[in-house]
A and B are shown apart, each in its own frame.
Chain A
């Protein structure tokens, strides 16, 4: 069974600064997908960024980028130029191809301070 661990329950960052959220996972699979989801206080979860395990290049979406270390089974999220709207809970998730379920970590609550 796959497990996802987010070791930072809470983090804070000053507006315009950079913050990195950690995620590690455990799997015996070689091909899989990794995701970061954002869940604002309004509750609806949205996809931030995703990475296919077979791709060596780290995914980037505007201010969001990942550091994917397959051998170390690590998948951290870097948020550059943090904005107040980035305040939310962030979940790391794992999925194998053609599978239905995603396995989620317990989340990191990020607060961006003005």
Chain B
């Protein structure tokens, strides 16, 4: 079946603008995760959804970052007043329920560049 998809694949914006990044998880996966990956580093956790609710948002760096998953499937990561330091690849992953819930399936990422 289809894997995790993310749109857009690349996003270039200007400092101060608002951006939305979209994640479509694997159908039926109830858990969804957002990570941020800076160049040469490992993914850094941002937020985790179980169903529609954010079970852990401890990784969101500040109140400019917000994520939603209103129907328990597609999720949108929203960044307000973007800064150059927000430039990174934003990765989304999903997991099924059951005994394999802890295996995460990653999308290809969205490369965000803030000029």
Contact = CB atoms under 8 A, between A and B. Distances in A.
B50 A107 contact: no
Given A43-B89, A91-B42, A101 B103 contact: no
Interface string B78-105: 0000000000010101000000001111
Give chain B's interface secondary structure class: strand
B50 A100 contact: yes
A43 B108 contact: yes
Contacts of A93: 42
Q: How large is the interface on A (under 10, 10 to 19, 20 to 34, 35 or more residues)?
A: 20 to 34
B104 A47 contact: yes
A84 B72 CA distance: 39
A15 to B, nearest CB: 26
B14 interface: no
Contacts of A101: 33, 45, 48, 56, 58-59
Contacts, number: 57
B107 interface: yes
A99 B103 contact: no
Interface string A20-58: 000000000000010001000011111100100000000
Nearest to B38: A106
> What are the 7 tightest A-B residue pairs by CB atom distance, in nearest-first order?
A100-B48, A104-B42, A101-B45, A45-B106, A100-B56, A44-B108, A106-B42
Interface of B: 31, 33, 35, 40-45, 48-50, 55-56, 58-59, 89, 91, 93, 102-109
